[in-house]
Each structure stands twice: as C-alpha cells, then as structure tokens.
Structure 1
Amino acid sequence: MRALVKTAPGPGLELVDVPEPSCGPDQVKIRVMRAGLCGTDLHLEGWDDWAASTVVAPLVIGHEFYGEVVEVGAEVTGIRPGDRASGEGHIVCGRCRNCRAGRRHVCIHTVGLGVNTNGAFADYVVLPASNVWLQPESIDPELGAIFDPLGNATHTALQWPVVGEDVLVTGAGPIGVMAAAIVRHAGAKHVVVTDVSDYRLDLAKVAGADLCVNVARTRIADAQRELAMLEGFDIGLEMSGAPSAVTEMLANLNHGAKVAMLGLPKDPYPIDWGRVITHMITIKGIYGREMYETWYLMSSMLATSPSFADAVRSVITHRFPAADWAEAFATARSGECGKVILDWS
C-alpha cells in the first residue's frame, strides 16, 4: 500500500510502498479516504528537536482521518466492514489511575497515532476498536477527517459555560477558527478572535466571529471599546502558544474570568501571576479530547445544526491528492490556508 513515511531520522518524508498492516483481535482496519494535515505533521516533516526526541523511524505519520472499515478483529463487536469511521488518535493504556477513573484523555501512558505508532497517511490504518468513532454515512468525508482537531476545539471551547459570555480567542489557526464557530453556536454574546494573519482572521469572521483583531496593528482593548463592552472578557481561549497573546489576553479579562489554554509554546515564558491572583482568574490546560464525551458533542452539533456544519467546513481551504503531499505540506507551512486535506481515495 502507499504510505507517507519518515523513513529515517532527519528532515523530509517519502511516499513509498509498504506492507498493509495486519488487524489484531481487538483492532479495526480502515481504508483511509481523507486525512487532515496537522501542525504535528509539520514538526515531524521538518524534524525539529521535539520530533527528534519523540519519533523512532521508520514511521507512517498522520492521525486525522476518515474512511471505511474493511476488517475487524475476532474480539470486536459493534463495528462491521462497510461502516464509515473516524479515529481517536490517542491510544490509552486502560490501566492507569486516570483511565480507570474514566479520565482517559489524561492517561499517563498515551501513545500517539502517527507519532509513536504507525498512523493514517496511508491507504490503510489499524487502530484499537475502542478508538474507532463510527460516523453516519451522510457525513461529508472531509468533515469526518477533521474530527480530531474539531475535538481539540470543542474540548477547549466548551471547557467553561459560554452562554451570554464575552469570549476572546487568541490564535486563528484552524482550531481557533473552529472554536469561534463552537462558542457562537453555543450562545456566546461576543466572540473576538485575534491573530497576525488577515487571511486567517477572514476565516474566523466567516465561521462566526463578531470581530477579528490583527494584533500587529490593533489592540484588544480597542476591540472592547468597539463592541461597547463595559468590562473585560469573561472567557479566554488561548490557541496560539504565543507569550504576547497570553499577556494581552490576561490584561483584557474581567475579574473572575476563566481561561482554557490549548496552544503549545516553544519555550517557557513568564505570566503576571499578580494579575491572575488579584483578578481571581482560573487557568486550565487542555490536551486532546475527552474520550468520548467530546466526540458525542461534536457529532450532536454537526447533526442538529447545518449552519454549524457549514461554519466548520469553511475552515477547509485546500485539498490535494495524496501524491501531491509535498505541495500540501508547503501550503500548510505557508500559513496562507485553513485546514489542508489529503485525498487518499
């Protein structure tokens, strides 16, 4: 089968022929139809320090996908060949304290699909049956392929009640844009998104943001005045990983505000803890998706609101056949894009 492989340590990838993966007794084999390109994949292709310290080559990369079930293991129930499915990319141990308590998203032994084990940038992928999320046949394959990042956005955006709240989203990458769509759908009062890319801010506007702020030119405080906000933002969703974004967010939050932080910084950075304490701000780190409550929420929102589905779909801006993977990666790395999809059909 075709697979996009990190064949050896160092920059680059190769589209090569490899044996099809075999399906174990508790596993499911899926024919990949669409796959989403993620920032993690860019790190793996570029081979930065994180990738070098994490990945053992050779490895098939990729973890965002949608496809058709072609084989199920002897111990698998409830999943049949012909079913359509996406997959949870975090494979957990099921034995640690958090797993046994139902908090699988914070498993201390998590294995990442396409990072620690062969992934989904291939004609076929195998994963545990417990990681398979069955999709209705009516779902757009491209939407099915981005359930992983949509899950990150959902987990972050709905970490706190948002009905009637003023929400600030820092970072208009695909996950930030989808987060704007989610809080708009969930009943936020004002939704403001910041970034330094006008291209991505335009995507956030289409997805439902009331106001988009290019912080290379305009301050968030100006956005508050434009919206006639009398107090600071109630909810902060930090998607950028940029220290300056965190600093400015904290400076524009109301007393008692709550912050969910998904964006990963490259290096440690200082935080004004005096403001956090005196303003009684709650900060919570977010990683991945809650298994599987987040998936239920995603499916329900998409199934019951065509306008929400359209808002999420709008973040997909570029599509490439798998053979053109290098162009797809270059497009994703350029920043002049939303979500990039690889077609493995």
Structure 2
Amino acid sequence: MRAPGVFETVDVAPPGEADLPDGAVLLRTLAGGICGSDVPKVKGAKGARLGPRGEFLPGRPGFPMHEVVGEVAASRHPEAEPGARVVGWATASDAIAEYVVTDGAQVHPYDPRFEPRAAVLIQSLACVIYALDRVPVAGLDVVVLGVGPIGAMFAHVAKDAGARRVTGVDPVDRSDLPPVLGFDETLAATAAGWAAGVGERDRPQVVIEAVGHQVGTLADAVSGAAPGGTILYFGIPDDDVYPLNMESLMRKNLALVGGVTRDRRRSLARADAYLQKHPDLYGALVTHEFDRGTVQQAFDTAVRASADRLKVVLDLG
C-alpha cells in the first residue's frame, strides 16, 4: 500500500527458512479475507509508516491483511509440517504477499476438502466462537449491532447455540440476507435509533456490538439492553478510552464482556469443525471474490458499506 487506500504491485526478495525465528512458519499464501479491523489500516489511521514530517510512506509488502490460508513452505514450529495447508493469523498483517512469516501457534491445518478461499472463514469463525463461549445465549433474545460479515457470523453461531431470537441492526438494509444466517429480523436502523426506540418488553438479554471503530455504539448497547443483560463488545476500538454511562450500567445490573481470541490453534480447530457442520456458510457469507491482480478493487469494495456486500475474499493461489 503506497498511500492510504492505494495499492501497487512490487517485487521484493521473499523470506527464506533462514529468516524464521523459533516457533515461526513460512507460508506460501493461497487465500485471505478482508476484515473490518483492516479498514482503519487501509485508511491510514492505524499501522501507517510515517516520515519525519508525518507524511505517509509505502507500507511493508503484503500489508494490511491478517486472515490467511497458506501452504507451509518451511517451519520451525513442531506442529506445522512443510507441505501442510493451514489457516489462521498473519501476525505482521502482510497476508497479501506471496510469502509471509507468521507465528506457528496462530495457524492450524484445516479440512482438506475445503478450497482455500472457503477455509478463510475459519479464522473469523474462530474469533466469533471463542467470544460467544463467554456469553450464554441459549433461550435468550440477542441483538447484533452491525450486520457485516462478523455480525452475520454472530447471528449464525448464536442461533446454533440455541438463542431464542436474533435481531440484526444496521443502517444498511439487510432484509435480503439468506435465512440460513439465522437472523429472525433485521432492522435498517442506526444503533442509536434502535436504542431510543426499543420497547421495554423487546429489550434483549444479550447485545453484541460488532461495529467498533467509534465510541457511540457501546453507549447504545448499554441503553438498549434489558436489565440484567450482557453486552459483548467485539468491535475493534480505535480509541483507548470510551465514555460510558456507568450509572445506567449499574442501575440495570449489566455485564460488559470484551477481549480478544486466545488459544488460537484450539479455536481454529473448533471453527474448522463448525464449518464442516455448516458448509453452506461460504455461499451465504462470501459475496465478492478477487485475485492478487485485483487487490485494489477488493479493498475498494470492502471499505464501502452496501446491501450486496458481506465477506470479501482474495484467492491468492
């Protein structure tokens, strides 16, 4: 990325086995997925290389994408054998490149029946499954703020876990989403509009914040949740400090849960099994596919909210 949102193809020397620290693997990339957490990086708000006067400098090759599927070309991790196909995290967020070095503890072999572009979903699913392990949803009403790819995954996993009713809230009209994703209803509304208008009897016991990147939606989750409910904050925070109505949080006896995915190899294995159980997820979630020659178009599509866009995948093989 030579400037915010501007991509070009460059030739560089590939990393080799000598470049691997202990525990690392060298991957030949096969596929990748664009995540909402990549968007601030694309816009230059996070992870940018800056010159002495604050000017943007070209980023490292392959930046910014962390969802990766690849073939192990060399390994210094005891559980990652050369030739294995794995899915997980590119720890330097450089997965657009042909070869990347990443932590072997953050990738895991996947079911070989999956095409690489389908196996990409395993990384996101690992995050969603891990997060929902911390928030019981069986028999409860769930509202998902933000119906992008992650929000849609939350709906599916929550419904599979026994949620009574799942409602999606997004300013983009998502009424045409495939029923297989598990939403009982989608509202074309802002989080603030939903929180202001929800009736007392319709307040959910669980609110999942899957928007991130600004402070308002957490306050909306607190405002809209039912007394005694739980807020799962999953959206990536761009600010270190968020204003919070602590009076409302306490008076309503709410629980606030946040965090990142730990035990990543185990989480990836569970997500692999989940995708085997629900192979139709790929067709429901992935709306756009691009290749390495159309990276610019892929990111242009991913950063623009639209009713016909969910998950954007790069086929890099």
**Among candidates 299, 313, 317, match of residue 341 of structure 1:** 313
Match of 2:73 among 70, 90, 94: 70
Is the aligned partner of 1:210 residue 2:212? Answer: no
Aligned residue in 1 for 2:111 = 136
Deviations 1:293-321 (A, max 9, x none): 42233123223x23xx3235411110011
Q: Deviations over 1:78-125 (max 9, x none)?
A: 433332111234xxxxxxxxxxxxxxxxxxxxxx422xxxx2112222
Taking the aligned partners of 1:206 and 1:244, their CA distance within structure 2 comes to 30
Matched, 1:314 2:280: no
State the aligned residue count: 303
Pairwise CA distance, 1:166: 1.0
Contact 1:13 1:45 in 2 (8 A): no
Residue 323 of structure 1 corresponds to which residue in structure 2?
293
| SS of residue in 1 equivalent to 2:253 | coil
Say if 2:80 is the partner of 1:79.
yes
Q: CA deviation at 1:287?
A: 2.4
Between the aligned partners of 2:259 and 2:118, the Cα distance in structure 1 is: 22
Alpha-carbon distance between aligned partners in 1 of 2:157 and 2:106, rounded to the nearest angstrom: 24
Query: Which letter does structure 2 place at the counterpart of 1:238?
Result: E
Could you say which residue in structure 1 is the equivalent of 2:9? 15
Q: Tell me how far apart the structure 2 counterparts of residues 17 and 133 of structure 1 sit (CA, whole Å).
A: 28
Q: Is the 8 A contact 1:261 1:283 kept in 2?
A: yes
**What aligned pairs does 1:20-39 form with structure 2 within 5 A after superposition?**
20-23=14-17, 24=20, 26-39=23-36
The secondary structure found in structure 2 opposite 1:296 is: helix
- In the superposition, the TM-score normalised over structure 2's length comes to 0.84
Q: How does 1:225-244 map to 2 (within 5 A)?
A: 230=201, 232-241=203-212, 242-244=214-216
User: Is contact 1:203–1:315 with CA below 8 Å preserved after alignment?
Assistant: no
SS at match of 1:60: coil
Where does residue 104 of structure 1 map in the other structure? none
Instruction: Please say if residues 64 and 87 of structure 1, whose CA atoms lie closer than 8 Å, have aligned partners that are also in contact.
Output: yes
Percent sequence identity over aligned pairs: 25
Is 1:42 paired with 2:39? yes
Q: 1:233, CA displacement in angstroms?
A: 1.3
Instruction: Could you tell me which runs of 5 or more consecutive residues in structure 1 were left unpaired when the two chains were aligned.
Output: 1-5, 90-111
- Residues 25-79 of structure 1 deviation map (CA, whole Å, 9 limit, x = unaligned): 5432222111111234333332126635799943431211112223334xx4343
Return the alpha-carbon distance in structure 2 between the equivalents of residues 55 and 164 of structure 1: 51
Unaligned 5+ segments in structure 2 are: 51-55
Equivalent pair of 2:105/2:264 in contact (CA under 8 Å): no
Task: Identify the residue that residue 113 of structure 1 maps to in structure 2.
Answer: 92
Q: CA RMSD in A?
A: 2.9
Q: Which amino acid is the alignment partner of residue 287 of structure 1?
A: V
* Alignment-derived partner of residue 53 in structure 2: none
- Would you say 1:273 and 2:273 are equivalent positions? no
Q: Distance in 2 between matches of 1:269 and 1:15?
A: 38
CA distance 1:58–1:219, shift in 2 (3 Å): closer
